[in-house]
Every structure is written in C-alpha cells, then in structure tokens.
Amino acid sequence: MYDANGKLDKTNLVEAYAPLVKRIAFQLMSKLPASVDVDDLIQNGMMGLLDALGRYEHGLGAQFETYAAQRIRGAMLDGLRENDWLPRSLRRDMRRIESAIHSLEQQFGRQPSETELATALDMPLEEYQRMLQDARGHQLVYLEDFNRDDDDDYLERHFAQEDSNPLDLLEDADMRRRLVDAIERLPEREQMVMALYYDEELNLREIGEVLGVTESRVCQLHSQAVARLRACIFDGGAAMPAARKRGRPPKKPAPN
C-alpha cells in the first residue's frame, strides 16, 4: 500500500478500506430511524477514514483497522449530531413520555406499565406504542440536556463547545451511579433488550428471535427503556446545567 516514493498510497487504501466504512454504516443503520440516509453515513465515514489515514503513524494492519473503525464511527456520529436527525416534534413527544414515567413512578412507587402510561398521556395504547416505534434511535443523552431552558436552538449553538460534551456527563461519577440504579429498576424484559442490544450487540431482529417477539416490538421496548432511563437520570425531563463540566462544580453566581 505504498507508492514508488515509499509513501502511503491513500487512493488504494481508501478503496481497500471502503468495505469497512460500509459495514459500519449498515451496523449503525440497524439502530437508527428510517429517515437516516445510509449514503450520508457512508460519506461521513469516508471522511473519517481519510482523517485516520492522515493521522495514523504506526504502519498498517490490524491495529490500523481498529483505529480507523473508531475514526469512521466517530465521523458518522458527528454527522448525525450535526444534522439533528431525530425530529424535534418526536423529541418533544419523548419528553412527554419521560415526564409521565417520572410522575407515575413517584405516584405508584414502581415503574408504570405501558397501559398506565398511555392512559396518563390520554391516548390509546396502540398510539403510544406507535410513538415508541417512531422514536427508534432515541438517545440516552443529547447536547440539549445541558441546558436549563427549553431552547430548541441549543444543539446548533453549542455543539462545538467543549463544555457541552455528552461523554463528560456520562463519565461523571454521580451520573454513572444513577444510570446503574436506573438500569436495575427496568422491567425484566426491557433489561434483557438493553443487555442484548448493547452488551451482546445483537440487532433488533436478532433480539426479537431471542424474545419471541417482532422486530417492531423490540424497537418499542428499547425506546421505552431509554425513556425510563432518561426519566430517572434527568428527573422527568429536567435538563442538566449548561455550565457543568466533569470534575468541576457549577460556577457560583457573582456577589451583588
């Protein structure tokens, strides 16, 4: 993969690793809404591959493929965040579900059932389940979760800021503890879906085969599990302070 001058032949390398980009793109597509275009993922992934080729300095081989896969996947995820691919109307619907989960859990002292949630949201069970299915790809943490206000422009205005990194939020010790507690409180079937999805890395169809349900039903269970976790972590939809940063307490207001 080197040219006559002993330098990396990037053209041939891009062709050689293009199947890796496509494989990662289709793996992500199994976890994303149908509105996401796989070609957009592949395009962003190719940019990640080029970035990896430009940065890697330790020769090629298995180690490079591991490194490139990380850069490719990261470029795809960055593209998804920039495009804000989950419709805001659906994001608002999911916040309603999270708020209902939090309220009913406080009322009942346990996790509410789907029927109880549908009733609280004043909609038929079938409509509630369809809402869950439409929310395929709903995430545990969004950049806007760092904002105190219901600010629809927060994602666009703060994406590039270092202080607004969801990874910092998840790495916070208190956040990890709350997340573990929330997972342990999930209904058994939803716990299994999360374990098979994230630990075993099965896709929705494969999880459906394990549980003996349809792929669409697995999608509903996954969206509901994420909503329960968010309701617990964010106290029913309350956002995290924008100023918070890992290892640092929020800034105190200046004295008058």
Closest listed residue to residue 224, CA positions, set 169, 170, 178, 187: 187
Q: For the range 56-60, what are the long-range contacts, defined as Cβ-Cβ under 8 Å and sequence gap of 24 or more? A: 60/1, 60/8, 60/13
The CATH fold assigned to 88-233 is Butyryl-CoA Dehydrogenase, subunit A; domain 3 (1.20.140)
Mean of pLDDT over the chain: 76
Q: What is the CA radius of gyration of the chain?
A: 21
pLDDT of residue 233 exceeding 70, the answer is yes
Which CATH code fits 10-83?
1.10.1740.10
pLDDT at 13: 81
Q: What is 211-248 written as a DSSP string? A: HTS-HHHHHHHHHHHHHHHHHHHTTTTPPPPTT-BTTB
Residue 114: its pLDDT value, please? 95
Identical fold at 10-83 and 88-233? no
pTM for this model (two decimals): 0.57
- Which contiguous run of DSSP H or E holds residue 183? helix 173-184
Nearest 5°: phi and psi at 105? -65, -40
Token code pair at residue 223: 């969206």
Where in the chain are the domains?
A: 10-83, 88-233
Q: Which residues on adjacent β-strands are paired with residue 8? A: 2
Better-predicted residue by pLDDT, 255 or 41: 41
pLDDT tens for each residue of 35-66: 677 888 899 899 999 888 887 765 555 577 88
pLDDT band at 172 (very low <50, low <70, confident <90, very high): low
| Predicted pLDDT at 4 | 54
Looking at residue 118, its pLDDT comes to: 96
Q: Which residue has the higher pLDDT, 224 or 65?
A: 224
- Rounded CA gap, 55 and 49, in Å? 10
Percent of the chain with pLDDT over 70: 66
Residue 232 φ then ψ, to 5°: -75, -45
Confidence at residue 129, expressed as pLDDT on a 0 to 100 scale: 94
pLDDT per position as a tens digit, 114-137: 999 999 999 999 999 999 988 876
